[in-house]
A and B are shown apart, each in its own frame.
Chain A
Amino acid sequence: KTQVEQSPQSLVVRQGENCVLQCNYSVTPDNHLRWFKQDTGKGLVSLTVLVHENDKTSNGRYSATLDKDAKHSTLHITATLLDDTATYICVVGSNTDKVVFGTGTRLQVSP
């Protein structure tokens, strides 16, 4: 059974629109939840990390929330740009060395 589920699998928005990506997980312990951006064929770039119950973070146009009770996180991207076209990956893990990756949401921003 998938331990980190992301939705939607893919999403197309027009430049300038906002979008919301979802991450539901069943991983325990869930000390950290991270969102990464992966451009096609490249490595992962960290966008934000959430640690505490009801954490909210903001990093420029990216903001994220975490509900540990519901085991759910959202990533909001405001005023999307063409460069936001990428796969966004949710990663949940503990303070030890095992983390579990979602399979990502493929976002395409059209002109």
Chain B
Amino acid sequence: NSKVIQTPRYLVKGQGQKAKMRCIPEKGHPVVFWYQQNKNNEFKFLINFQNQEVLQQIDMTEKRFSAECPSNSPCSLEIQSSEAGDSALYLCASSLNSGNTLYFGEGSRLIVV
């Protein structure tokens, strides 16, 4: 069973508000991914880290999100100014290395009203 812990499970934000989600990866996993799953079950890769360093991120993440994975603290993903289209399930996954199985958390469901 995965031990990737995501908080909060749910958050409701108004448009323009910040929305912050956290993720504690599985112990010993240096690689962390964030994905967005929309209501149509479409997944969008947002960003990934190896230890504290950003490996890759998409343009949207770079412009509108703030993300980090500090040592000895949970990883976080924060939308600086929420938009209606940001309503989705945000999934964090960790892995031992890029070729290994991804272990997913339960997700943080964001609703932007």
Contacts and interface: CB of A to CB of B under 8 A. Distances in A.
A87 B6 CA distance: 20
Interface stretch (B12-20, B63-71, B77-85, B100-108): B100-108
B103 A101 contact: no
A34 B101 contact: yes
Given A31-B99, A97-B55, A97-B98, A43 B42 contact: no
A41 B99 CA distance: 26
Q: DSSP class of A's interface residues: helix, strand, loop or mixed?
A: strand
Nearest to B101: A46
B42 A98 contact: no
Contact of A43 (B4, B43, B56): B4
A82 B103 CA distance: 24
Contacts of A34: 101-102
A46 B89 contact: no
Interface of B: 2, 4, 6, 31, 33, 35, 40-43, 45, 48, 55-56, 89, 91, 93, 98-99, 101-107, 109
Given A41-B109, A97-B55, 13 more contacts: A32-B99, A36-B104, A43-B4, A43-B6, A43-B105, A43-B107, A44-B91, A45-B2, A46-B103, A89-B41, A97-B31, A98-B56, A103-B40
5 contacts: A43-B91, A43-B104, A43-B107, A87-B41, A101-B43
